[in-house]
Structure 1
């Protein structure tokens, strides 16, 4: 698994994940939308931590430095 995410991309994903979790815990989003938000937050956090995004591979995108 080749790393394909740069620092800025990872930071943005972690900020979005934290925001989605915060919105859910404050009750601003709930129900199905809240659950989807938590799923996306989990995916964003996981891909940020491992520095690999499978979708980037499919689309030929690489934001990391070579």
Structure 2
């Protein structure tokens, strides 16, 4: 896997993932919708930690600065 995510992209994904987790923890979101949104938040966190987004590969997007 070749990195295809830049620093700003990773930061935004982590921020959104943490925000979703906090909303779930505070019971602002609940039920089936909360589980689906929480799963999306987990995917955002995992892809930001790996610096790789499979969807970016399919769409031909690369936000990582090239050397």
TM over 0.5: yes
Instruction: After TM superposition, list the pairs within 5 Å mapping 1:1-66 onto structure 2.
Output: 1-66=1-66
Alignment gaps of 5+ in structure 2: none
1:10-65: CA deviations, max 9, x gaps?
00000000000000000000011110111011100000000000000000000000
Question: What is the rounded CA distance, in whole Å, between the counterparts of 1:37 and 1:25 in structure 2?
Answer: 12
Q: What is the aligned residue count?
A: 66
Structure 1 residue ranges, 4+ long, deviating more than 2 angstroms after superposition: none
Cα RMSD over matched residues? 0.4
Alignment gaps of 5+ in structure 1: none
TM-score (norm 1): 0.98
